[in-house]
Amino acid sequence: MSPERYQKINQVLAKRQPDLTLLLEEVHKPHNVSAVIRSADAVGVCDVHAVWEQNKALRKGTAMGSQVWVKTHAHSSLSEAINVLHQQNMQVLVTHLDDTAVDFRDIDYTQPTAILLGQEKTGATDEAVALADKSVVVPMVGMVQSLNVSVAAAVILYEAQRQREAAGMYHIQKVSEQHIQETLFQGGFPIIYKECKRRNLPFPRINEQGCIEADEQWWQALQFS
Protein backbone atom coordinates (compact mmCIF):
# COMPACT_ATOMS: atom_id res chain seq x y z
CA MET A 1 0.00 0.00 0.00
CA SER A 2 1.38 3.41 -0.93
CA PRO A 3 2.02 6.01 1.80
CA GLU A 4 -0.61 8.24 0.16
CA ARG A 5 -3.29 5.55 0.34
CA TYR A 6 -2.35 4.73 3.93
CA GLN A 7 -2.74 8.39 4.92
CA LYS A 8 -6.02 8.73 3.05
CA ILE A 9 -7.59 5.70 4.74
CA ASN A 10 -6.43 6.89 8.16
CA GLN A 11 -7.86 10.36 7.56
CA VAL A 12 -11.20 8.87 6.53
CA LEU A 13 -11.37 6.53 9.53
CA ALA A 14 -10.50 9.32 11.95
CA LYS A 15 -13.75 11.09 11.01
CA ARG A 16 -16.05 8.06 11.04
CA GLN A 17 -19.28 8.41 13.04
CA PRO A 18 -20.24 4.97 14.40
CA ASP A 19 -23.23 6.45 16.27
CA LEU A 20 -24.87 7.71 13.06
CA THR A 21 -26.50 5.16 10.76
CA LEU A 22 -29.26 4.36 8.31
CA LEU A 23 -31.88 1.62 8.30
CA LEU A 24 -33.34 0.67 4.91
CA GLU A 25 -36.75 -0.99 4.99
CA GLU A 26 -37.20 -3.05 1.82
CA VAL A 27 -35.45 -0.50 -0.41
CA HIS A 28 -35.13 -2.68 -3.51
CA LYS A 29 -33.67 -0.70 -6.41
CA PRO A 30 -29.90 -1.26 -6.61
CA HIS A 31 -29.17 2.28 -7.83
CA ASN A 32 -31.03 3.71 -4.84
CA VAL A 33 -29.19 1.47 -2.40
CA SER A 34 -25.84 2.37 -3.98
CA ALA A 35 -26.66 6.09 -3.85
CA VAL A 36 -27.70 5.88 -0.19
CA ILE A 37 -24.47 4.10 0.73
CA ARG A 38 -22.43 6.61 -1.27
CA SER A 39 -23.99 9.47 0.73
CA ALA A 40 -23.44 7.55 3.96
CA ASP A 41 -19.74 7.18 3.19
CA ALA A 42 -19.49 10.87 2.27
CA VAL A 43 -20.64 12.03 5.72
CA GLY A 44 -18.63 9.46 7.70
CA VAL A 45 -21.24 6.77 8.35
CA CYS A 46 -19.51 3.41 8.71
CA ASP A 47 -22.52 1.06 9.11
CA VAL A 48 -25.83 0.76 7.28
CA HIS A 49 -28.62 -1.60 8.37
CA ALA A 50 -31.23 -3.10 6.07
CA VAL A 51 -34.27 -5.35 6.06
CA TRP A 52 -34.38 -7.31 2.80
CA GLU A 53 -36.73 -10.22 3.37
CA GLN A 54 -37.73 -10.61 -0.27
CA ASN A 55 -34.50 -9.99 -2.15
CA LYS A 56 -31.56 -12.16 -1.17
CA ALA A 57 -29.65 -11.37 -4.38
CA LEU A 58 -29.75 -7.62 -3.68
CA ARG A 59 -28.75 -8.25 -0.08
CA LYS A 60 -25.66 -10.19 -1.13
CA GLY A 61 -24.66 -7.87 -3.97
CA THR A 62 -25.03 -4.68 -1.94
CA ALA A 63 -23.15 -6.07 1.06
CA MET A 64 -20.26 -7.16 -1.15
CA GLY A 65 -20.11 -3.87 -2.99
CA SER A 66 -19.89 -1.74 0.14
CA GLN A 67 -18.12 -3.97 2.61
CA VAL A 68 -14.80 -2.09 2.74
CA TRP A 69 -15.89 1.44 3.62
CA VAL A 70 -19.51 1.07 4.75
CA LYS A 71 -20.55 -2.21 6.34
CA THR A 72 -24.05 -3.41 5.42
CA HIS A 73 -25.85 -5.38 8.14
CA ALA A 74 -28.87 -7.35 6.92
CA HIS A 75 -31.73 -8.18 9.31
CA SER A 76 -34.56 -10.64 8.87
CA SER A 77 -37.18 -8.33 10.37
CA LEU A 78 -37.72 -4.67 11.14
CA SER A 79 -38.29 -5.32 14.83
CA GLU A 80 -34.95 -7.13 15.05
CA ALA A 81 -33.15 -4.27 13.34
CA ILE A 82 -34.69 -1.57 15.51
CA ASN A 83 -34.00 -3.59 18.64
CA VAL A 84 -30.31 -3.75 17.67
CA LEU A 85 -30.25 0.03 17.20
CA HIS A 86 -32.06 0.72 20.46
CA GLN A 87 -29.53 -1.47 22.26
CA GLN A 88 -26.91 0.98 20.98
CA ASN A 89 -28.94 3.81 22.57
CA MET A 90 -29.85 5.28 19.17
CA GLN A 91 -32.89 7.40 18.51
CA VAL A 92 -34.69 5.90 15.52
CA LEU A 93 -36.19 8.48 13.17
CA VAL A 94 -38.53 7.39 10.39
CA THR A 95 -39.10 9.52 7.30
CA HIS A 96 -42.89 9.65 7.20
CA LEU A 97 -45.53 12.32 6.68
CA ASP A 98 -48.05 12.13 9.52
CA ASP A 99 -49.65 14.39 12.12
CA THR A 100 -46.75 13.94 14.56
CA ALA A 101 -43.92 14.40 12.04
CA VAL A 102 -41.43 17.21 12.69
CA ASP A 103 -39.16 19.10 10.32
CA PHE A 104 -35.99 17.02 9.93
CA ARG A 105 -33.92 20.11 10.79
CA ASP A 106 -35.48 20.29 14.27
CA ILE A 107 -33.80 17.05 15.35
CA ASP A 108 -30.61 16.93 17.44
CA TYR A 109 -28.33 14.73 15.35
CA THR A 110 -25.45 15.02 17.76
CA GLN A 111 -27.26 12.27 19.66
CA PRO A 112 -26.77 8.64 18.54
CA THR A 113 -29.14 8.45 15.59
CA ALA A 114 -30.54 5.97 13.09
CA ILE A 115 -32.54 7.24 10.11
CA LEU A 116 -35.16 4.78 8.86
CA LEU A 117 -36.03 4.99 5.15
CA GLY A 118 -39.00 3.17 3.69
CA GLN A 119 -39.54 1.35 0.41
CA GLU A 120 -39.41 3.42 -2.78
CA LYS A 121 -43.07 3.17 -3.82
CA THR A 122 -45.01 2.81 -0.57
CA GLY A 123 -42.70 4.46 1.96
CA ALA A 124 -42.34 3.40 5.57
CA THR A 125 -44.71 0.71 6.80
CA ASP A 126 -47.13 1.11 9.72
CA GLU A 127 -44.81 -1.14 11.73
CA ALA A 128 -41.87 1.19 11.08
CA VAL A 129 -43.86 4.23 12.19
CA ALA A 130 -45.00 2.43 15.33
CA LEU A 131 -41.53 1.19 16.30
CA ALA A 132 -39.61 4.39 15.53
CA ASP A 133 -39.11 7.04 18.19
CA LYS A 134 -40.13 9.95 15.98
CA SER A 135 -41.35 10.75 12.47
CA VAL A 136 -39.49 13.38 10.44
CA VAL A 137 -40.39 15.06 7.19
CA VAL A 138 -38.50 17.02 4.55
CA PRO A 139 -40.74 20.05 3.83
CA MET A 140 -42.04 20.20 0.25
CA VAL A 141 -43.49 23.27 -1.47
CA GLY A 142 -43.87 21.79 -4.96
CA MET A 143 -46.40 19.44 -6.54
CA VAL A 144 -44.70 16.24 -5.38
CA GLN A 145 -45.14 14.97 -1.82
CA SER A 146 -41.74 13.39 -1.26
CA LEU A 147 -38.17 13.09 -2.49
CA ASN A 148 -36.55 10.03 -3.97
CA VAL A 149 -35.37 7.81 -1.10
CA SER A 150 -31.68 8.30 -1.89
CA VAL A 151 -32.10 12.08 -2.16
CA ALA A 152 -34.00 12.20 1.14
CA ALA A 153 -31.21 10.20 2.77
CA ALA A 154 -28.57 12.64 1.50
CA VAL A 155 -30.52 15.72 2.61
CA ILE A 156 -30.99 14.40 6.16
CA LEU A 157 -27.46 13.05 6.43
CA TYR A 158 -25.96 16.39 5.50
CA GLU A 159 -28.02 18.13 8.17
CA ALA A 160 -26.62 15.59 10.63
CA GLN A 161 -23.13 16.26 9.28
CA ARG A 162 -23.60 20.03 9.65
CA GLN A 163 -24.66 19.72 13.29
CA ARG A 164 -21.90 17.27 14.16
CA GLU A 165 -19.24 19.37 12.45
CA ALA A 166 -20.39 22.44 14.40
CA ALA A 167 -20.18 20.42 17.61
CA GLY A 168 -16.61 19.30 16.83
CA MET A 169 -17.58 15.64 16.55
CA TYR A 170 -15.48 15.07 13.44
CA HIS A 171 -12.33 16.02 15.34
CA ILE A 172 -12.63 13.11 17.80
CA GLN A 173 -11.70 9.60 16.69
CA LYS A 174 -14.55 7.27 17.60
CA VAL A 175 -13.75 4.00 15.86
CA SER A 176 -11.64 1.38 17.59
CA GLU A 177 -8.05 0.55 16.72
CA GLN A 178 -9.21 -2.93 15.74
CA HIS A 179 -11.66 -1.45 13.22
CA ILE A 180 -8.92 0.80 11.84
CA GLN A 181 -6.48 -2.09 11.45
CA GLU A 182 -9.01 -4.34 9.70
CA THR A 183 -10.09 -1.57 7.32
CA LEU A 184 -6.48 -0.70 6.51
CA PHE A 185 -5.82 -4.35 5.72
CA GLN A 186 -9.00 -4.82 3.68
CA GLY A 187 -8.70 -1.54 1.82
CA GLY A 188 -4.95 -1.69 1.28
CA PHE A 189 -4.48 -5.40 0.57
CA PRO A 190 -7.84 -6.68 -0.74
CA ILE A 191 -6.51 -9.87 -2.36
CA ILE A 192 -4.55 -10.96 0.71
CA TYR A 193 -7.52 -10.00 2.90
CA LYS A 194 -9.80 -12.33 0.93
CA GLU A 195 -7.29 -15.15 1.26
CA CYS A 196 -7.09 -14.66 5.02
CA LYS A 197 -10.88 -14.76 5.23
CA ARG A 198 -11.03 -17.88 3.06
CA ARG A 199 -8.36 -19.69 5.05
CA ASN A 200 -9.45 -18.34 8.43
CA LEU A 201 -6.05 -16.78 9.08
CA PRO A 202 -5.60 -13.98 11.64
CA PHE A 203 -5.29 -10.49 10.23
CA PRO A 204 -1.77 -9.00 10.44
CA ARG A 205 -0.94 -5.55 11.76
CA ILE A 206 -0.51 -2.70 9.29
CA ASN A 207 2.34 -0.47 10.43
CA GLU A 208 2.81 3.30 10.09
CA GLN A 209 4.43 2.84 6.67
CA GLY A 210 1.36 1.02 5.36
CA CYS A 211 3.14 -2.35 5.30
CA ILE A 212 2.07 -5.73 6.64
CA GLU A 213 3.83 -6.78 9.85
CA ALA A 214 3.75 -10.57 10.24
CA ASP A 215 6.14 -13.37 11.15
CA GLU A 216 7.44 -16.04 8.79
CA GLN A 217 4.93 -18.60 10.05
CA TRP A 218 2.04 -16.35 9.00
CA TRP A 219 3.49 -15.83 5.52
CA GLN A 220 4.04 -19.54 5.10
CA ALA A 221 0.45 -20.25 6.15
CA LEU A 222 -0.75 -17.70 3.60
CA GLN A 223 1.32 -19.21 0.80
CA PHE A 224 0.40 -22.80 1.59
CA SER A 225 -2.29 -24.17 -0.74
Binding residue ranges: 95, 138, 147
CA distance 50 to 29: 13
CA distance 9 to 176: 14
Task: Give the max Cα distance, the chain.
Answer: 66
Which residues fall within 8 angstroms of residue 100, CB to CB, at 6 or more apart? 134, 135
Phi and psi dihedrals of 68, rounded to 5?
A: -75, -50
CA distance 221 to 201: 8
Taking the CA atoms of the chain, what radius of gyration do you get in angstroms?
19
CA distance 128 to 94: 7
Binding-site positions for S-adenosyl-L-methionine: 95, 138, 147
Is residue 180 within 8 A of residue 197, CB to CB? The reply is: no
Can you name the residues that pair with 102 across neighbouring β-strands? 136
115-153: b or e for each residue (b if 16 or more CB lie within 10 Å)? bbbbbeeebbbeebbebbeebbbbeeeeeeeeeebbebb
